[in-house]
Amino acid sequence: MPLDRLEQLSEHGSFGGVQRFYRHASRVIGLPMRFAVYLPPQAVAGRLVPLLTFLAGLTCTEETFTMKAGAQRLAAELGLALLMPDTSPRGANIPGEAEAWDFGVGAGFYLDATESPWATHWRMESYLTDELLPGVVEQFAVDGERLGLFGHSMGGHGALTLALRHPGFFRSLSAIAPICAPMNCPWGRKAFAGYLGADESCWSDHDASVLMGRQAGAPYPAGILVDQGLDDRFLTDQLHPEALQAACAAIGQPLTLRRHAGYDHGYYFIATFVDDHLRHHALRLS
C-alpha cells in the first residue's frame, strides 16, 4: 500500500545517486512521520537494488546517520539503497513527552506500546514492518526480497529484536553498540515499564538476548556482525554485548563481535566502521 500523502522535502545529489528526505501521514502512528532514503546510481537508472535500513538511537532523527555516518559513498559503489526512519513519533502532546526523550520513555524503542498514554501513537514496530518498509518497496526502485537491517544503540536493539521477531523478513543483520539485554539495563527497564507495563514477563519478547536464546537454530547462518567500542561509557551498565554473545553461542548462531579499544558510543565510532557493515550486508543481499 502506498505511503499516504508522501511529500518530498528535499533532494541532494550524492556520489552519483540522490539523497532524499520525506514526510508522510502515517496510518499506523496516527501522526506525520519523516524518513530519509539514499538511492544509489543503479536505482536512479531504474535497476532494483537491495534496501538496507538503519535504525538510529536515542536523541536521533532520520537526519543523524544520514548526515554524520558518511555511508553514501560506499552504498553507491555497492549498489545499496539506504533507508533511515525517524526514531519515534513526535508531536503527540502527551504530558512529559518532551522531558522524556533523552533516556527512556518518549523515544520509540522500536516496539508497539500497550500502556496508556503511549499505546495510541508509539507503535514503531508495526510502523516499520507493516507500513514504512512495504511502502518504500512499492514506491522506490528497491527489491523487497533483499532487505537488510542494522542500527546503533537503541536502534541496534531495534535491529536485533525486529529481525528475530519477524523471521524471514530481513536477509541480513548487524548492529553497532546495541542495547543487547534491555531487561537488565536502566534504559530498557524504564522504557519497557512505561510502554509495556509492570509485568516483566511481557518484556522478554523485546529483549534480543532472550529472543536469541529461544531460537531453535541459527536464524542468520551467514552470520551477524556487532561492533562495540571499549571506551563506550554505556558499555558496562547499558549495553551488555556479552549476553548476546552467550545466547548466540548457545544456539550456534555465528556472531562476529568486535571490541575496539579507544572508541566511544558516538558517530566517530559509527563512521569508522560503517563501511564494514555495508559490505557485510551487500555480500548477503547480493
Give catalytic residues, as residue numbers: 153, 232, 265
3-state helix vs strand vs coil in the chain, percent to 5: 40, 25, 35
Which residue stretches of 52-206 are H helix? 62-68, 72-78, 124-126, 133-139, 154-165, 186-196
| Of 165, 106, 169, 100, the residue nearest 133 (C-alpha) | 169
The cell numbers describing 119, all together, are: 499505546
CA distances from 122 to 96, 106, 114, 189, 209 (A): 14, 9, 9, 17, 23
Cell for 88?
A: 519515534
**Grid cell digits, residue 61:** 532523527
CB 26 within 8 A of CB 127: yes
For 197, other C-beta atoms within 10 Å of its C-beta total 14
Cell digits for 223? 552470520
Cell of 194: 512505561
For 186-206, the DSSP string reads HHHHHHHHHHH-S-GGGGGGG
